[in-house]
Amino acid sequence: MTIREFKMPDVGEGLTEAEILKWYVQPGDTVTDGQVVCEVETAKAAVELPIPFDGTVHALLFEEGTTVDVGQVIISVQTGEAGAGAPVQTAAAPVAEAAAAAAPAAGEPAAEARQPVLVGYGVSTASTKRRPRKAAATAAQNGTAAPAAPAAPVLPAVPAQPAGERPLAKPPVRKLAKDLGIDLASVVATGEGGVVTREDVHAAAAAAIAPQAAAAAPAAPAQAPSAEAAVPAPTVESSARETRIPVKGVRKVTAQAMVGSAFTAPHVTEFITLDVTRTMKLVQELKDDPDLAGLRINPLLLIAKAVLVAIRRNPDVNASWDEAAQEIVLKHYVNLGIAAATPRGLIVPNIKDAHAKTLGELSESLSSLVATARDGKTSPADMQNGTITITNVGVFGVDTGTPILNPGESAILAVGAIKLQPWVHKGKVKPRQVTTLALSFDHRLIDGELGSKFLADIAAVLEHPRRLITWS
């Protein structure tokens, strides 16, 4: 008999850790190739992991609720194969591909029981520890023997910088690394030719947060909390004035991304208040149209269409900033992000090639996107490569806000509550449906004139929705 080990795979675009939400097997259970053995939550999505071989579960190495580094062994299986087991990397690779493509279908009760988390307590003792790697690199440069490596690697193997070689990075990236306290020699470079990019530095900074928080936090119990107790109990009596809860998953990455965006892209926000009475009437007419029966018709649908029309009239707003190449990249497609509040936190999946969709297709995509997000089944791919985002704060009764850009995007539109208000219409004060739009944009890409024209065009379409036809 052979004991084969299965490591935590990278289930989406360079993520460094995942939390085990639920085990579907126990020691002694028989498993088959492709059988889902657990559900994990990454910083971007909840996914199920299938085992890539047959056998009997020998041991589960981490409890539910534990945050585990990519590359660490999470389960061992006793197989009937002779000789040494296959390399763990070979077993993990197809699982990562399958997990990234598949959405979770089980474990929903456990997922719903989890509570949103806030800044504070740190992570479990099994969380990321990357200092030994840095010490080993230093020892290699000094020509001394490195300390013994841990039994399970904490990260997947990556090409390392040769000893003494200076990492390749642009001056702004070097400054960013210095400001964040990141050693460029320890950063995994993903840029062309081995160049370290801003995204690489932010990823390294995110990975470094866990051990720093753990070092600053009070001693944690030896065993991680279970999924049913995802929110740890306070370490003091119930009358305490504060409760500290670990930051994980979506909230952790969202916080890091928003800080990076706020201090990287120079934000400008403009506002416009407008009469959307005609748009609200059109929404009702479309709901009554038998040709659109079965489709979800709401104001957000027409707002999304208005944004797409305005982008067509102002194509330069649909762009991104390439820091490494010092270039502006114009996008000839629109991946329209829609901010969605979920039990796991705020996520922004996007509708791919929204510019090419009809009104009916856009409605179907919106409905699918929202339903998938609320079920916690949004895949990492659905949240990548967005170009412009809409966030509807009006659903909470809020008039407007100053939204922060999603990293890599050029603009984000906040839609306020639509309310009946007194408005001058045709020379008389009448009750009209009024809302306020707020557009934040990256001032490196969009100057004041372009941003103003773009926002004004969105408002013009919503004030007179016939422009959905005449401007298309």
Q: Is the pLDDT of residue 100 over 50?
A: no
Q: What is the 3-state secondary structure (H, E, C) of the chain?
A: CEEEEEECCCCCCCCCEEEEEEECCCCCCEECCCCEEEEEECCCCEEEEECCCCEEEEEECCCCCCEEECCCEEEEEEECCCCCCCCHHHHHHHHHHHHHHCCCCCCHHHHHHCCCCCCCCCCCCCCCCCHHHHHHHHHHHHCCCCCCCCCCCCCCCCCCCCCCCCCEECHHHHHHHHHHCCCHHHCCCCCHHHEECHHHHHHHHHHHHHHHHHHHCCCCCCCCCCHHHCCCCCCCCCCCCCCCCCCCHHHHHHHHHHHHHHCCCCEEEEEEEEECHHHHHHHHHHHCCHHHCCCCCCHHHHHHHHHHHHHHHCHHHCEEEECCCCEEEECCCCCEEECEEECCEEECCEECCHHHCCHHHHHHHHHHHHHHHHCCCCCHHHHCCCCEEEEEHHHHCCCCCCCCCCCCCCEEEEECCCEEEEEEECCEEEEEEEEEEEEEEECCCCCHHHHHHHHHHHHHHHHCCCHHHHCC
Which has the minimum average pLDDT: 54-58, 195-199, 238-242?
238-242
Report pLDDT digits (tens) over 155-196.
333 344 464 567 887 766 776 777 677 888 888 888 887 888
Q: Give the pLDDT of residue 213.
A: 42
Q: Which residues are catalytic?
A: 443
Using CB atoms within 10 A of its CB, is residue 392 exposed (0-12), middle (13-18) or buried (19+)? Answer: buried
Report pLDDT digits (tens) over 350-365.
999 999 999 999 999 9
At which residue do the structure tokens 């840095």 appear?
Answer: 134
Q: Give the pLDDT of residue 239.
A: 67
Q: Give the pLDDT of residue 82.
A: 46
Domains parsed from the chain with CATH numbers: 2-113 (2.40.50.100), 131-246 (4.10.320.10), 265-470 (3.30.559.10)
Q: Which two tokens stand for residue 136?
A: 């080993």
Contact 104, 48 (CB under 8 A): yes
411 phi and psi angles, rounded to 5 deg: -155, 155
Please indicate whether residue 408 or residue 215 has the higher confidence score (pLDDT). Answer: 408
Q: Give the pLDDT of residue 235.
A: 47
Share of the chain above pLDDT 90, in %: 44
Report pLDDT digits (tens) over 214-259.
444 443 333 333 333 333 444 445 568 888 877 776 667 777 777 8
Q: Are strands 428-442 and 411-415 parallel, antiparallel or unpaired?
A: antiparallel
Please indicate whether residue 343 or residue 214 has the higher confidence score (pLDDT). Answer: 343
Q: Which pLDDT band holds residue 374 (cuts at 50, 70, 90)?
A: confident
Contact 216, 233 (CB under 8 A): no
Please indicate whether residue 263 or residue 314 has the higher confidence score (pLDDT). Answer: 314
